[in-house]
């Protein structure tokens, strides 16, 4: 019976001693071990929170460390900024509705009937002096665009 009391007392002391571990400033007692939850991948932000493979514990959050070639880490997610409409060209650059991310730039996808997409802008090439008849065809000074052709502006008109 004396041995049974000794065993019970020993078990109580072990559990009490691990619960009473005093950790240095900046560390937390996780099951009797002092850990820094701000950078411990096995106790990230809280005891027992384990970061997945490829992630590291940074300021108490599991963050993705490396992305595959051609992708960028945007807030812990690997994205291809050359074609991601929510991260176009850079993390957080969102293309407006009707635009798509093409080679890292937001480009207009469809123009209204009668207009043409010239470098992301809808224009009417039949009367636009900067895109006369085709995108980028600029009428010289003193000319206007009529029916897609540059014509000299007559004095008095």
Chain segment 64-92, per-residue pLDDT in tens: 878 888 898 888 788 999 999 999 999 99
pLDDT above 60: residue 131: yes
Residue 9: the pLDDT is 44
Q: Where are the domains of the chain?
A: 21-65, 67-109, 116-152
* Per-residue pLDDT at 12 exceeds 50: no
- The whole-chain average pLDDT of the chain stands at 85
pTM comes to 0.42
Q: Name residue 157's beta-bridge partners.
A: none
In order, the DSSP letters of 49-98 are -PPPTTEEEETTEEEE----TT-EEETTEEE-TTT-TTSSSSTT-PPPTT
């Amino acid at each position: 019976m004396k041995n049974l009391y000794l065993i019970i007392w020993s078990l109580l002391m072990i559990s009490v001693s691990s619960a009473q571990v005093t950790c240095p400033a900046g560390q937390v007692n996780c099951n009797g071990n002092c850990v820094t939850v701000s950078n411990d991948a096995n106790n990230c932000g809280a005891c027992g929170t384990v970061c997945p493979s490829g992630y590291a514990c940074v300021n108490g959050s599991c963050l993705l460390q490396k992305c595959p070639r051609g992708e960028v880490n945007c807030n812990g997610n690997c994205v291809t900024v050359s074609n991601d409409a929510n991260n176009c060209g850079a993390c957080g650059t969102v293309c407006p509705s009707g635009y798509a991310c093409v080679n890292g730039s937001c480009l207009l996808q469809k123009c209204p009937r009668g207009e043409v997409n010239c470098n992301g802008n809808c224009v009417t090439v039949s009367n636009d002096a900067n895109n006369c008849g085709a995108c980028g065809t600029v009428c010289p000074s003193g000319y206007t665009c009529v029916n897609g052709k540059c014509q000299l502006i007559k004095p008095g008109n």
